[in-house]
Amino acid sequence: MAELKVEAIGEGLGVRLPREIVEQLHVQAGDRISLEKTPQGSYRLVTSEDKLAEQITLIEDYMHEEDA
């Protein structure tokens, strides 16, 4: 687990991602990521590509259920 420090950025707040997290997420400056709340109440960072892959998997699973 990586600990992130909340910092003042302009008129808002932000966090800096450690290099290891940036590399694992495969993101770079300007990319968009989402902070999603899980059913257990914790949060996770998700890239747009991860969200798209999850949606495709859900659609494919649904299509296979319909075939059965």
* Per-residue model confidence as pLDDT tens digits over 23-35: 988 889 988 888 8
Q: What pLDDT does 2 receive?
A: 82
Judge whether residue 59 has pLDDT over 70.
yes
> Does the global pTM surpass 0.75?
no
Q: Number of helices (H) and strands (E), helices first, in the chain?
A: 2, 4
Lowest mean pLDDT: which of 2-6, 34-38, 48-52?
48-52
- In the three-class reduction of DSSP (H, G, I as helix; E, B as strand; rest coil), residue 66 is classed as helix
